[in-house]
């Protein structure tokens, strides 16, 4: 999926706003079918949302984790969970 690869590249070069748009485009092209490609695109979108300060990233990554769980894919589930906890700070 070209938009998803382009989204990943945009994240790699620290262009999260561009990445969010590209991952959203990839999700539109993929349609509503929950599969590994959609899960990866959601993880990328969630990472981009987090970097742009969009609080929706948690919901996006939770959806990715749910897809990974339904697919029985531990690697994708771990990737979604790790993406959702990056930048976490404790106030203890």
Span 54-82, average pLDDT: 96
Element (H, E) at 64: helix 57-71
Residue 4 CB partners (closer than 8 Å, separation 6+): 22, 23, 26, 37, 40, 41, 44
Tens of pLDDT, residue by residue over 11-66, are 888 899 999 999 999 999 999 999 999 999 999 999 999 999 999 999 999 999 99
CB 20 within 8 A of CB 54: yes
The CB density around residue 90, as the number of other CB atoms within 10 Å, is: 4
Residue 90 scores a pLDDT above 60: no
Query: Whole-model pTM?
Result: 0.88
- Integer-rounded Cα radius of gyration of the chain: 12
């Amino acid at each position: 999926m070209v938009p998803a690869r382009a989204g990943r590249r945009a994240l790699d070069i620290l262009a999260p706003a561009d990445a969010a748009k590209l991952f959203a485009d990839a999700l539109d092209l993929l349609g509503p079918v929950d599969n590994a490609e959609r899960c990866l695109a959601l993880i990328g979108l969630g990472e981009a949302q987090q970097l742009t300060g969009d609080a929706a990233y948690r919901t996006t990554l939770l959806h990715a984790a749910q897809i990974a769980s339904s697919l029985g894919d531990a690697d994708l589930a771990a990737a979604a969970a790790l993406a959702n906890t990056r930048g976490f700070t404790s106030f203890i």
